[in-house]
Structure formats: C-alpha cells, structure tokens
Amino acid sequence: MQLQVMNSPFNEEQVEALNRLLPTLTESQKIWLSGYLAASQSQVAASAVITPDTVVQDQRVAETSPQIVNAEQSKTREITILFGSETGNCQALSEDLRTKLGGLGFKVELSAMDDFKTKGLKKVQDLLIITATHGEGDPPDNALSFYEFLNSRKAPKLEDVRFSVLALGDQSYEFFCQTGKDFDKRLEELGAKRLYPRVDCDVDFDDLAAEWTEGVLNELKASQSEATGGSTIVAQESSPLGTPLQQSAYSRTNPFKAEVLENLNLSGRGSNKENRHLELSLEGSNLEFEPGDSLGIYPENHPNLVDEIIEEMQWNPDELVAINKLGDVPLREALLSHLEITILTKPLMEKASHLTHHSALKELLAPGQEEALKAYMEGRDILDLLRDFAPWETSAREFVSILRKIPARLYSIASSYKANPDEVHLTIGTVRFHAHGRDRMGVCSGQCAERVKPGDRLSVYVHRNPNFRLPSDPEAPIIMIGPGTGVAPFRAFLEEREELEAQGKSWLFFGDQHFRTDFLYQVDWQRWLKEGVLTKLDVAFSRDTAEKIYVQHRMLQKSKELFQWIQEGASLYVCGDEKHMAKDVQDALLTIFQQEGGMSFEAAESYLTDLRKQKRYQRDVY
C-alpha cells in the first residue's frame, strides 16, 4: 500500500520518504516503531498533565534514556515465553510477541525450551508457550528436555503460575498439535491457571496466531491495569532499526515471483528415482538466506485433477467462489492455485459429512473407526472423496469453503548466498505413486518435474531455520549425514565454507540406491575433496550390494574416528527422512558413544542430549 499526499497529514517529501522506508521493514520493526510512537505520545501527555515544569520533565526523560522506567513497573508480573521450534516458525512468533510485550512495558524473558533452566520454573509468573508438533505427535528437538522434565515427578507445583499455549501443527497428521495439547494439559495438572485458552493452528497459522496474541495481550494489559491502579507502564527497548536495512518486502504472506533459470534431472538413466536440480533467480527481491535455511514454494495443483473434480460435480469452472482475503475468484483458479485438494484430513472429512447423506462416510467417522478412517485417507484426494460418497447436496461455493489453503512446500536450500548472490538452488525428489486405481504425484515436486520450464516463475519465500546452522567458528569440524535429497543443505554448507576459506575439517556421509544413477552432486563432492574443502567422504549405495548398506552402517564402520572427531568438537548435522533414516542414525550414534566412549546406554543418551543443547547435534528431518 502506498501513502498519498492527498489523504495523509504528510507533505510530498515526507510521503516519498515513508514510501521508500515502509516496504523494507519487517513485521517486528513495524510493531516496534508503532510502539515507540505510542510511547512517545504517552510521555508528552504525562508531561502536560503531571509535570507543569516541562524543563524538569525533559531532564528526567534525558536521565532515564534509553530506558524509561515507571515506578509502578515493580508491580508488573514477569512474563516468560518458551518456544519449541523445529523449522523456526515458533521462534519467529515468540520473538514478535516479545517485541509487542516490550513495547507495552512488560518485563519479558524469552528462551528456547532446551535453554531454559528448569529449576527456575517454580518462580515463573506468567508462562506463554509457543510450540510445534513434530512427526507423529512428538515434541521438536529443542523442546524434548523441557517436555520430559514437565512430565516427570520432578516437575514442581505451579499454583501461582498463569499460562497460555499456542500450538502449531498440520491437520494432515493424526496427532495434530499434540505437543501443544500435552503442555496445556500438564500445566493445568500442576496447578497453573489458564490465562487464555489454547489455540491450535494448521499450516496456515497467521490469522489464528494473531488472534491468540491479541487475546493474551488483552488479558495481560487488563491484569497490568489492575496491578498499577490504571496507570500505564512505558518502557523503551533497544531498536531493531539500529541494524542496516537489508530486509525484503517479500515474505511467506507476500511471496516473490522467482524466475526459473535451470531445471535439470540429476538422476541417471535407469534410476528408480527422479531428482531435480532447480536454480531460481532472486534478482530484485532483496531476499537473503543462510546455509540451513529453506525455500518455501507455493505450488499449483495439477490442471487435470482440477478439471476432473469440476467435471465430476458438473460445476461451472467460471463460477465465483470466496477465498478468504482474496474475495471472489473463479472456481477453476481457486482449485488450481489456492486450495488443498490432494490431502484428506479428519477435520475435512467431518465437514464434508454434513454435505452428503451417504451413510458410509458417517460410519467412517463414528467412534471406534479411527483406524478405518486413517486407512481410507491414506493416498486419496478430493476427487476420491467426491466419487466415493456421492451424491452431494452442495454448491461449489459451499464445498470450497471447507477446503484449507494450499500450504507452501519447504525445500532445503542447496546453495550459498555468498557464493551465488541473487540465486537459490534446490534439490527436489519427484514423488510418484499408484494408489486406489490412479497414478498420483506430489503437488510441488510433480509441478517442478513436469510443468516448470526455464523462464517460468514460482511463488517463493525464504524460510529461516535458526536450528540448523554452521558453527560460528569456521575452524570447527563438521560431520554431515544426508542420504538422498537430504544432502542438499550440505552442498550449501560446503559452498559457504569454500567462499569463507574455512579451515575446519568436514566429513560427509551420503547414501542412495545406486552409484551409477543416484550419486547426487558427485562432481561437486569430488572437486571439494580434491581441493580440501571436504576432508572425508563416505558413501553407501544400498542396491549395489547383496546386503543393503545404509549411511548408519558406514558410521558404525568408522566409529572410532567419528567419535574422535566429536570429542575434538565436531558438530553433527542430519538431514532427510525422519521416520526411518533419522532414527537409525541416532541409534548408530548411541551405539558409537557406548562402544567408543565406554558409556552406558543412559550415559550415551545424556551425551547426545548435551550435544543437542550445545547446538552440536542439529537435525532437519521430515
């Protein structure tokens, strides 16, 4: 939105300056700025009403700058924000909340759950928890230790604590927002009082997160007003505007249309897989990223699937339907670009059951049929739902209202910004499968494999992942474990280390099916080995040997040297499949610690936990 001179109190020069500045600000900077201006007005008002002698008042303000302290602040309860974040969303929300609370004068402590000293929990006054749920209802890695403590016999009674929980999740998973639900229930069991009801968010979390934030802020402001007799506390935090303005106007809610420069098939002829290497231009976006970050892509559904749905229901493709903030758009455009049509979830099935009298759908949703429902949803999409439970008593407009917004797909960035400014590289494994009588494919991976050509554009944004970062010391050794497309971020790691001329040792464990067809980025690894950027490379090609060999087997074979590297300060990184690979790799690490370190199983687990707390065991698994 551009300011205009005619509808603003600013002159032409001021409007021009504001229009240059505002698009560059992040949300936290805008929030801070609005809070700062509000605080400034409060000071002026206080000066005019309370202190007739403005010279003395100005002197007081100068003496307390940059921190303005109200005598009533001692009556304000301290707020503790704890976040459990796997990909960075919860951390970003927590930081924004801290900024808002600080602007209102609250004293705030912000911490990742694994950095929080649990012995101080009984001293907490107001506790705000923002957490994701990972995998099958598990806490994120950086929430594990706090989660286990809270659910142990060591957890203290919390009768004097007020709390609220914001839970992030994905409704396509069975245990939606389970970690947030667990925290909410356990805090209540320990005697804590709910400050504001828990809110559970799906992948499109912005509106619900904002609703929870507003509700929490209103409750806290009401409590503050009671504690201070109606007076307002004014505090001034250090400004985020003090750093150079390198922010982009593009974000998750305002994606950039990136031009596709290259789209190559990395897999050799005869491979059972298709892995694509995409290079996108970020020129003109002002988007930057660090190794370990991901790129979000908002995909389009397959046109054939969209047309089959419309034909099945005999709808008019040009009929206007409502899409939340976009207003009315043609039905075909809505199904193609805005709505999720390839995944079935329990909430969707429940909503759909009200639009048909088909008894079989209602039976699937009956108590005790959870396994049958789960089995039905696996591998099916909206077209299956419409065909299996016809006839439907609904219009197109009514039916699309039950569909959720199509979520972005995140891919680990496979390049270094320092090495390739204004470009971003991705490694995307194409998902194809046959189920329930039809050939199917991944929404985004299928689009990139079949319908995206150089010159086309994709809607993208940078998704920061502060929990997957290279060591700050370029001399520190690193061990990278990334089979398949999980190797993508390690290409970025080594590009970055090469650019910085880092001297730290590096060791890569890579695995896939066949050496001849599936050795992703083989030329890059061999060049870096020759030049010394990569110190060691161990590979496992599971289908090239009679007995399947995976990366965890190579780790066990090199257990003595691997443990020595860790003892010397190496950081461990794991990227790729969560269900099998990540668990197998972790089991291998525990075995190595026991064998080479002479530890008991319990001591090995504690050792791994300590590595995680030191940020020396980081995972990006999915």
Binding residues for NADP(+): 542-543, 548-552, 584
The one-character DSSP state at 317 is T
How many angstroms separate the CA atoms of 590 and 603, rounded?
A: 9
Q: Which two tokens stand for residue 78?
A: 């301290």
Which uninterrupted H or E stretch holds 134?
none
Contact predicate 589/555, CB 8 Å:
yes
466 Rama sector, left if φ>0, alpha if ψ -120 to 50, beta otherwise = alpha
How many angstroms separate the CA atoms of 484 and 563, rounded?
A: 24
Q: Mind spelling out the 3-state secondary structure of 205-257?
A: CHHHHHHHHHHHHHHHHHHHHHHCCCCCCCCCCCCHHHCCCCCCCCECCECEE
Q: Residue 281 phi/psi, 5° resolution?
A: -90, 130
The one-character DSSP state at 135 is T
What is the number of helices (H) and of strands (E) in the chain? 22, 21
Angle at 300 between CA 296 and CA 302, to 5 degrees: 140
Q: Which two tokens stand for residue 286?
A: 């002002």
Which uninterrupted H or E stretch holds 118?
none
Q: Which two tokens stand for residue 236?
A: 């001034």
How many angstroms separate the CA atoms of 446 and 144, rounded?
A: 35
Q: Which residues are annotated as a binding site?
A: 168-177, 342, 409-412, 427-429, 442-445, 542-543, 548-552, 584, 622
Maximal CA-CA distance, the chain: 90
Q: Sort 99 into a burial class: Cβ within 10 Å, 0-12 / 13-18 / 19+.
A: buried
Q: Which residues are annotated as a binding site for FMN?
A: 168-177
Alpha-carbon torsion angle 7, 12, 16, 22, nearest 10: -40
Q: Look up residue 431 and give its amino acid.
A: V
Q: Which residues are annotated as a binding site for FAD?
A: 342, 409-412, 427-429, 442-445, 622
Pairing of β 438-441 and β 432-435: antiparallel
Helix (H, G, I), strand (E, B) or coil at 508: strand
Which uninterrupted H or E stretch holds 395?
none
Contact predicate 400/343, CB 8 Å:
no
